[in-house]
Structure 1
Amino acid sequence: MEIVISDAALKWFQDEVELKKGNKVRFYTQIYGSSPIQENFALGFTVDNEPVDMSIKTEKEGITFFIEGTDLWFFNGHDLHVDYNEKKDELEFSYTKSKE
């Protein structure tokens, strides 16, 4: 499994969340949402500089994006792609089957 952050999404995190080199962003599952891979669950994020079990991570311009081991079930063998939709002015999450 991998996390892919687009350049547009990275810029959004830097501009809107004011992230800088050294910050960490955790993607986590939340109940009462919708996703194409898990019914009744959605994905959220938080700035979390104290990971407990950083199982999957990627770094872009010194910012670490990660998923804790307790949330891996949500992805069900899929990679996470994070992009920014300029028209909707929001992040978009998409999922592709992992090659692993």
Structure 2
Amino acid sequence: MNIQLEPKALSWFKDEMDVSPGHFVRFYVRYGGSSPLHQGFSLGVNKEEPIDIGAKNESDGAVYFVEQNDLWFFDGHDLLVKYNEKLDEPEYEYVKHPS
């Protein structure tokens, strides 16, 4: 699994979550909401130290990651983090690995 962040999404994390070099940003599975992959589950985000990184992206000195025990959620998909200008928040796209 790969994690990609578009430049505007990186800017949002810096501005809104005060992410700077040395910080860790976790994408985690939460119960509730919905996603194109799993009804009843959605993706959350938080600044916190990793325990067991399953996938990561290092950008501008910060580490964006998913824990090993949350990889099931992505079900063969990569995570593309975009920025939704209309809602002024990150937007998640799940990109299927080529077969």
| Alignment TM-score, normalising by the size of structure 1 | 0.95
The equivalent of 1:79 in structure 2 is 78
Distance in 2, matches of 1:36 and 1:47, equals 24
Q: 1:1-100 counterparts in 2 under 5 A?
A: 1-48=1-48, 50-99=49-98
Unaligned runs of 5+ in 2: none
Matches of 2:81 and 2:34, distance apart in 1? 16
Task: State the Cα deviation string for residues 25-81 of structure 1 (Å, max 9, x = none).
Answer: 010000111100111100001101x21101100111111000001100000000001
The number of aligned residues is 99
For residue 73 of structure 1, give the secondary structure of its aligned residue in structure 2: helix
Give, in whole Å, the separation in 1 of the partners of 2:67 and 2:81. 17
Structure 1 unmatched runs, 5+: none
- Look up the equivalent residue of 1:85 and give its one-letter code: N
Q: C-alpha distance in 2, partners of 1:53/1:76?
A: 18
Q: Distance in 2 between matches of 1:5 and 1:59?
A: 10
Instruction: State the secondary structure of the residue aligned to 1:71.
Output: helix
CA distance in structure 2 between the aligned counterparts of 1:99 and 1:19, rounded to whole angstroms:
32
Q: TM-score under structure 2 normalisation?
A: 0.95
Which structure features the higher share of strand residues? 2
Displacement after TM superposition at 1:90 (Å): 1.3
Q: Percentage identity across aligned positions?
A: 47
Cα RMSD for the two superposed structures: 1.1
Q: CA deviation at 1:99?
A: 3.8
